[in-house]
């Protein structure tokens, strides 16, 4: 391929990556964390709420009529369930039977840190409504796709030679470029799938609006609503219908599901309009053998156990090719198939994606120094390079610190504040914005060390909170030895060790005498004489 064409593709790759890279870092890092969002929710849930005995639904609904609208019956394990309903935004009630068989109910304000992190994954943390953030990420993913395609074209001439090359040595820029190329090429199918799916998710509503006006003459939305299982009603819901008879016990409903789909594992039953005409129950669960949307689900009539919708029920559904393809599309994006191996694989690929965007920015910053060397003049970094370096440090480390601190707050503030949801948002965005401001004030070199120290402490606070709960239960904290919460503690401890290693290596790096680099504490100083030549020339001769 001609060199001038390659230069065009390299320019496209560079600038689309620069424009989209920081938001994509947030989306990929948060997305990696949310692969274990159920475990995160368990980690922030006090064990006294989780360890409920069996609940008599009828007694709960009789004593708490507001729960009839929507309530959930989570299947914790054999013989243990958890009944809950939301009375108002941020206020959730739980019901159970005590040892004497008396109905008990308690209000809680559970942490939704996992939901916030998931929202960061889908919106990139863009301020404003959820719809605005998703739409912005849809546009960003278009640039993301351009960066992927142009990057592959740029790398094609040297693909065979450089694919597995990772030249570690004094030439740090070459090492970062090798790592960037290897990660990008080996995870290319994953990234292409992510780019395509996010464009569909983010811009889908706008595409549907155009179709609605040009093709369906305003009839698309009612048609989609009628086909949506979340809006379905059981027979007998018409005007003036008689009250529904007694609902079947949950065990009988689950038996019908198992008979229909033997390998499907139910995890929760969500009732709507319980005890009224047209009531429905949404049976959520998982079948790791299938590409299923959110694990899969079935919609049933809680009165007679009839199936109202099974198109998203793996192994027992009657879905169309369209529903099967859309389920696979969602599953491939969210990793809701294959169990733990797939979740861990997506976790690693998510972190690798975050590295890809971070390293891309670093390469752009360092390439400014190389370009100025070609002019033969002493290198003085431009203001734009310092700003981009500070933004890269502030955004990436601010995201990491904000997620770690707001997650730790889920346990530290539980039962101590009135609106934990507001606290989660405030903690994340305060840390995130403050990190960017700190990086701009201190410069990329100093801020990278200081914010990595904060990331280490913030991430270490997660297992530390559990350890305090283990050794001092009177503190109001708690420790859980269940696999999910314990995995969060172990993962956070390993993450803190990784950030501590990065902090140490970065501190050594900024102490170097490379005065023309934004990563040096001496950046901006005059070049020093080394053996009769300037340090700039000496570094150039070393290929650095």
One domain for residues 204 and 311: no
Region 344-358 average pLDDT: 91
Which of these, 294, 327, 312, 331, lies nearest to 257 by C-alpha position? 312
Residue 53: per-residue pLDDT: 46
Residue 533: pLDDT band (50, 70, 90) is: very low
Confirm whether 543 is domain-assigned. no
pLDDT mean across residues, the chain: 79
More confident residue, 262 or 3: 262
Are 497 and 385 contained in the same domain? yes
Whether residue 463 contacts residue 18, with contact meaning beta carbons closer than 8 Å, is answered with no
What integer pLDDT is reported at residue 273 of this predicted model?
85
| Closest alpha carbon to 359 in 177, 90, 135 | 177
- Identify the weakest region by mean pLDDT among 35-44, 221-230, 521-530: 521-530
Q: Is residue 532 part of a domain?
A: no
In a domain, 535, yes or no: no
Same domain flag for 387 and 476? yes
Of these ranges, 269-283, 481-495, 511-525, the one predicted with the greatest mean pLDDT is 481-495
More confident residue, 489 or 214: 489
Examine the pLDDT at 200 and tell me if it is beyond 70.
Answer: yes
Residue 322 has pLDDT above 70, yes or no: no
Report the pLDDT value the prediction gives residue 215, as an integer from 0 to 100.
Answer: 78
Cα torsion for 60, 61, 63, 64, to the nearest 10°?
Answer: 110
pLDDT band at 245 (very low <50, low <70, confident <90, very high): low
Per-residue confidence (pLDDT) for residue 285, from 0 to 100: 87
> What percentage of the chain carries pLDDT values higher than 70?
76
Q: Check whether residue 455 and residue 307 sit in a common domain.
A: no
pLDDT tens-digit readout, 429-477: 999 999 999 999 998 889 999 999 999 999 999 999 999 999 998 888 8
Give 196's pLDDT tier (boundaries 50, 70, 90): confident
Q: Answer whether 372's CB lies under 8 Å from 379's CB.
A: yes
Tens of pLDDT, residues 60-82: 888 888 888 888 888 766 556 77
**Residue 502 has which token pair?**
């990065």
Residues 64 and 130 in one domain: no
Residue 535, pLDDT > 60, answer no
% pLDDT > 90, the chain = 23
Domain that holds residue 503: 381-510
**Where is pLDDT greater, at 462 or 106?**
462
Rounded CA-CA distance 112/98 in Å is: 27
Query: How high is the pLDDT of residue 400?
Result: 97
**Is residue 509 very low, low, confident or very high in pLDDT (cuts 50, 70, 90)?**
confident
Q: Is the pLDDT of residue 244 over 60?
A: no
pLDDT at 165: 62
**Does the residue 329 lie in any domain?**
yes
Question: Do 410 and 492 fall within a single domain?
Answer: yes
Task: For the full predicted model, state whether its pTM sits above 0.85.
Answer: no
For residues 375-394, average pLDDT: 77
Same domain for 162 and 117, yes or no, is yes
Residues 160 and 279 in one domain: no
* Domain match, 93 and 133 both: no
- 175 domain-assigned: yes
Instruction: Compute the distance between CA of residue 160 and CA of residue 132 in angstroms, rounded to an integer.
Output: 42
The answer on pLDDT for 352 being more than 70 is yes
pLDDT number for residue 19: 79
> Residue 330 — very low, low, confident or very high, per pLDDT cuts 50/70/90?
confident
pLDDT of 338 reads: 79
Stretch (H or E) spanning 75: strand 70-77
Residue 266's DSSP bridge partners are 285
| Segment among 149-163, 215-229, 365-379, 420-434 with least mean pLDDT | 365-379
pLDDT at res. 99: 66
Domain count for the chain:
4
Question: Does residue 96 contact residue 83 with C-beta atoms inside 8 Å?
Answer: yes
Q: How far is CA 120 from CA 72, 149, 375, in A?
A: 25, 26, 43
Q: Assess if residue 521 is contained within a domain.
A: no
Residues 152 and 12 in one domain: yes
**Of the residues 109, 126, 161, the one at which a domain ends:** 109
**Looking at the domain assignment, is residue 302 inside a domain?**
yes
Residue 544 tokens, joined: 């650095």
> Which comes out higher in pLDDT, residue 526 or 283?
283
- Domain co-membership, 151 together with 24: yes
Eight-state DSSP code of residue 65 = G
Q: Write down which residue in 81, 109, 137 finishes a domain.
A: 109
Q: Which of 136-145, 154-163, 366-375, 523-532 has the lowest mean pLDDT?
A: 523-532
How much is the average pLDDT of 379-384? Answer: 70
The verdict on 134 and 168 lying in the same domain is yes
Q: Which of 236-240, 317-321, 399-403 is predicted least confidently? A: 236-240
The answer on pLDDT for 270 being more than 50 is yes
Mean pLDDT over 171-187 rounds to 73
Structural domain ending residue among the three candidates 87, 109, 131:
109
Cα-Cα end-to-end distance for the chain? 28
Residue 540 lies in a domain: no
Q: Is the pLDDT of residue 488 over 50?
A: yes
- Burial of 457 (C-beta count, 10 Å sphere; 0-12/13-18/19+): middle
């Amino acid at each position: 391929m001609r060199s001038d064409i390659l230069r065009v593709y390299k320019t496209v790759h560079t600038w689309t990556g620069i424009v989209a890279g920081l938001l994509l870092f947030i989306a990929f890092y948060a997305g990696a964390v949310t692969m274990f969002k159920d475990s995160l929710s368990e980690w922030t849930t006090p064990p006294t709420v989780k360890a409920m005995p069996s609940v008599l639904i009828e007694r709960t609904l009789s004593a708490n009529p507001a729960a009839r609208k929507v309530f959930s019956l989570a299947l914790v394990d054999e013989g243990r369930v958890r009944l809950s309903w939301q009375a108002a935004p941020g206020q959730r009630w739980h019901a159970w039977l005590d040892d004497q068989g008396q109905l008990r109910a308690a209000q809680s304000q559970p942490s939704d840190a996992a939901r916030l992190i998931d929202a960061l994954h889908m919106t990139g943390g863009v301020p404003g409504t959820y719809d605005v953030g998703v739409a912005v990420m849809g546009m960003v993913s278009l640039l993301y796709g351009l960066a992927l395609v142009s990057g592959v074209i740029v790398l094609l001439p040297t693909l065979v030679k450089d694919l597995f090359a990772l030249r570690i040595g004094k030439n740090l820029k070459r090492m970062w470029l090798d790592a960037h190329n290897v990660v990008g090429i080996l995870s290319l199918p994953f990234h292409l799938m992510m780019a395509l799916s996010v464009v569909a998710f983010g811009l889908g509503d706008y595409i549907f609006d155009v179709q609605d006006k040009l093709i369906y003459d305003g009839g698309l939305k009612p048609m989609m609503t009628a086909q949506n299982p979340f809006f379905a009603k059981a027979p007998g819901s018409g005007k003036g219908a008689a009250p529904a008879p007694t609902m079947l016990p949950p065990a009988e409903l689950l038996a019908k599901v198992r008979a229909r789909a033997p390998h499907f594992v139910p995890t929760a039953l969500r009732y709507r309009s319980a005890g009224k005409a047209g009531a429905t129950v949404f049976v959520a669960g998982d079948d790791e053998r299938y590409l299923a949307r959110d694990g899969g689900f079935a919609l049933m009539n809680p009165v007679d156990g009839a199936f109202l919708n099974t198109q998203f029920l793996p192994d027992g559904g009657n879905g169309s090719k369209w529903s099967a393809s859309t389920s696979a599309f969602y599953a491939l994006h969210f990793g809701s198939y294959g169990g733990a191996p797939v979740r861990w694989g997506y976790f690693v690929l998510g972190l690798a994606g975050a590295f890809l965007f971070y390293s891309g920015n670093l390469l752009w910053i360092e390439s400014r120094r190389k370009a100025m060397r070609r002019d033969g003049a002493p290198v003085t970094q431009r203001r734009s390079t310092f700003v981009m370096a500070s933004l890269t440090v502030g955004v990436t480390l601010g995201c990491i610190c904000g997620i770690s601190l707001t997650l730790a707050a889920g346990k530290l503030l539980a039962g101590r504040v009135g609106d934990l949801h507001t606290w989660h948002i405030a903690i994340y965005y305060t840390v995130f914005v403050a990190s960017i401001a700190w990086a701009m004030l201190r410069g990329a070199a100093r801020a990278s060390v200081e914010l990595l120290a904060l990331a280490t402490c913030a991430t270490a606070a997660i297992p530390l909170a559990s350890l305090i709960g283990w050794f001092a239960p009177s503190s109001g904290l708690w420790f859980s030895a269940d696999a999910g919460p314990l995995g969060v503690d172990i993962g956070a401890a390993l993450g803190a060790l990784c950030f501590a290693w990065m902090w140490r290596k970065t501190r050594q790096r900024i102490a170097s005498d490379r005065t023309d680099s934004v990563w040096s504490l001496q950046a901006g100083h005059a070049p020093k004489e080394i053996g009769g030549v300037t340090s700039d020339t000496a570094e150039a001769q070393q290929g650095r």
